[in-house]
Amino acid sequence: TAKERVRMPEMDPQERIKYQDREVNIGLSADQAQKEASRCLDCPNPTCIEGCPVSINIPKFVKYIEAGKFLDAAKTLKETSALPAVCGRVCPQEKQCEASCFYTQKMKKDPVAIGHLERFAADYERESGFMSIPEVAPANGIKIAAIGSGPASLSFAGDMIKLGYDVTVFEALHEIGGVLKYGIPEFRLPNKIVDVELDNLQKMGVKFVRNFIVGKTASFDDLKEEGFEAFFVASGAGLPRFMNIPGENYNGILSSNEYLTRVNLMNAAKDEFDTPVIKGKTVAVIGGGNTAMDSVRTAKRLGAERAIIVYRRSRAEMPARVEEVHHAEEEGIEFINLANPIEYFADEKGKVNRMRVQRMGLGEPDASGRRRPIVLEGSEYDIPVDLVVVAVGVSPNPLIPSEVKELKVSKWGTIEVTEETMQSSIPEMFAGGDIVRGGATVILAMGDGRKAAANMDEYLQKKHKAN
């Protein structure tokens, strides 16, 4: 008889919605982790690994956990992943490693809880006080820069510093971490977990420069003059999209980036901080991705009586992680599926008070394989709201492409790179993460960082040998 998949212990929903900064998932105990690890069949041909964008040796780390060798498990993770404590928490596992697990594919049973186990091993290592700082090769004196400080840059910087490069990470904001800090809320990914990783990188010798916009504060030419020989551009997909419908510029309608940045980066929900945030009683969040879930659950935590997701497709098509949708439901989030806003209305001061939505049906599958939403004419109705958060996607950050005219970009504004090397049309410029993919995932961004590091190393070594 097959063992049941372990359940992640979590904070009680009624209790947790009182706190913006308490993590929902509590983490597995050592016993639970070992029990779950014992479910892994140590397949001779482990398909799970193919599902992981950075090819973590899953059976190896899982079997270390089963054997109680937790630090060895953590070490295995770090062979290929720079931020396992982060990925264990935020990877869409159900679409990646766990979707390719033998249990899912061949036995039609719940997969091994790879994500939970990854988090367990990484957390265990961090809390044990025996966090291993990877060895660093002797300095080779070659100066390189990473632009942006999100997961793509962090994994790139980790690999390059190990190879002996002199690495500087430039960040436009006053905090390091990219979306991990300003976007994903504390209740899903505590900042201290990211900070420990940053601390390690710093200990290994990575230099972080905040409040520095490459292309503005200094140009690439300035930086080259200062000795930087190559660049990794990982400036993310930070530009929020709006729907361009009537009334969208009324007060009280904002992008998820603005809402989450105010709360996460600027601490706006705390009285002692100066940045304001509007706390709505009825909050509608437009969209069905992770960003939408993060926004709607934040609204609930800031005291919303009704916090509603309005999404134009059905539940099955929501791109958010399944776990987040499930948690949102437990927290009393309302879902209005197959509906789309078409207009907003405001009071005499210009503050939104009502939104008009239109019902949608599902048509034939589109290019993404999901059934296309179609408008049901005459189905409009109004919902009273006092805060609307628009989370319908992001576009690539236009800063670098607009400053570097020779850089080749696609019609969507993403930087074009050679897929195998992550090298752009300018040889000393590599790129990865959301600026290349559009809004994607943490683990894909990290994979890009690693690939770029390996290829930049090769490029620079060749160049230096030639000279």
Partner 1 sequence: MNQIVEKVLFSEKVAKFVVDAPRIAKSRKPGHFVILRVDEKGERIPLTIAGADPVKGTIVLVVQKMGVSSAKLFELEVGDYILDLVGPLGKATHIHQAGTVLACGGGVGVAPMLPIVEGFKKAGNRVISIIAARNKDLIILEDEIRKWSDETIVMTDDGSYGTKGLVTAGAEMIIQREKVNECIAIGPAVMMKFTSLLTKKYEIPTQASLNAIMVDGTGMCGACRVSVGGNTYFTCIDGPEFDAHQIDFDELIMRLGGYSNEEKLAYERYV
Residues of the shown chain interacting with ligand SF4 in the complex, contacts defined by CB under 6 A: 40-43, 46-48, 52, 54, 56, 58-59, 81, 87-88, 91, 93, 96-97, 101-103, 112, 114-115, 118, 443
Task: Pick from 91, 101, 146, 277 the residue near partner 1 by CB under 8 A.
Answer: 277
* Per CB under 8 A, 216 contacts partner 1: yes
Residues between 392 and 411 with contacts to ligand FAD, criterion CB under 6 A? 397, 399-400
Per-residue binding string, partner 1, 166-185, x by CB under 8 A, is ------xxx-------x---
User: What does 32 bind: ligand FAD, partner 1, ligand SF4, none (CB cut-off 5 to 8 Å by kind)?
Assistant: none
Q: How far is the CB of 155 from ligand FAD (least distance, A)?
A: 8
Which of residues 93 and 257 has its CB atom nearest to partner 1 in the complex? 257
| Separation CA 113–CA 107 (nearest Å) | 15
Tell me which of 43, 196, 218, 383 binds partner 1, using CB under 8 A: 218
DSSP one-letter string for 399-415: HHHHH-TTS-B-TTSPB
A 10 A CB-CB count for 174 gives 9
Check binding of 39 to ligand FAD (CB under 6 A). no
Farthest-apart Cα atoms in the chain, separation: 71
Alpha-carbon span 315 to 338, nearest angstrom: 9
Give yes or no for a contact between 27 and 10, defined as CB atoms under 8 angstroms apart. no
Per rule CB under 6 A, is residue 291 in the interface with ligand FAD? yes
> CA 169, CA 182: separation in Å to the nearest integer?
17
Q: Which does 52 bind (CB under 5 to 8 A by kind): ligand FAD, ligand SF4, partner 1, none?
A: ligand SF4
Q: What is the sign of the dihedral through the CA atoms of 352, 353, 359 and 362?
A: positive
State the minimum distance, in angstroms, from the CB of residue 11 to partner 1: 28
Q: Exactly one of 6, 24, 167, 184 binds ligand FAD (CB under 6 A); which one? A: 184
Rounded to whole angstroms, how far apart are CA atoms 107 and 118? Answer: 22
How many residues bind to ligand FAD according to rule CB under 6 A? Answer: 40
x-or-dash string of contact with ligand FAD, 247-266, rule CB under 6 A: -------------x------
Q: Which residues touch 128 (CB under 8 Å, ≥6 apart)?
A: 70, 71
Cβ 165 to ligand SF4, closest distance in Å?
25
Answer whether 166's CB lies under 8 Å from 141's CB: yes
Does 169 bind ligand FAD (CB under 6 A)? Our answer is: no
Going by C-beta distance under 8 Å and a sequence separation of 6 or more, which residues neighbour residue 35? 3, 6
When CB distances are held under 5 to 8 angstroms depending on the partner's kind, the choice from partner 1, ligand SF4, ligand FAD, none that residue 398 binds is partner 1
Which of 411, 416, 405, 450 shows the shortest CA–CA distance to 155? 450
Partner touching 254 among partner 1, ligand FAD, ligand SF4, none, CB below 5 to 8 Å by kind:
partner 1
Q: Which does 131 bind (CB under 5 to 8 A by kind): ligand FAD, partner 1, ligand SF4, none?
A: none
41 binds, among partner 1, ligand FAD, ligand SF4, none (CB under 5 to 8 A by kind): ligand SF4
Binding of residue 23 to ligand FAD (CB under 6 A): no
User: Read out DSSP for 168-202?
Assistant: EEE-SSSSSSTHHHHTS-TTTS-HHHHHHHHHHHH
Torsion of CA 242, 443, 197, 291, to 10 degrees: 20
Q: Specify whether the CB–CB gap between 234 and 391 falls below 8 A.
A: no
CB-nearer residue toward ligand FAD: 178 or 247: 178
Q: Please report whether residue 244 would count as binding partner 1 according to CB under 8 A.
A: yes
For position 78 contacting ligand FAD by CB under 6 A, the verdict is no
**286 vs 18, 28, 100, 444, 455, CA distance in Å?**
23, 33, 31, 25, 40
Which range binds partner 1 by CB under 8 A, 48-56, 151-159, 208-216, 374-382? 208-216
Of 259 and 344, nearer to ligand FAD (C-beta) is: 259
Asked if 290 touches ligand FAD (CB under 6 A), the answer is yes
358, 379 Cβ separation under 8 angstroms: yes
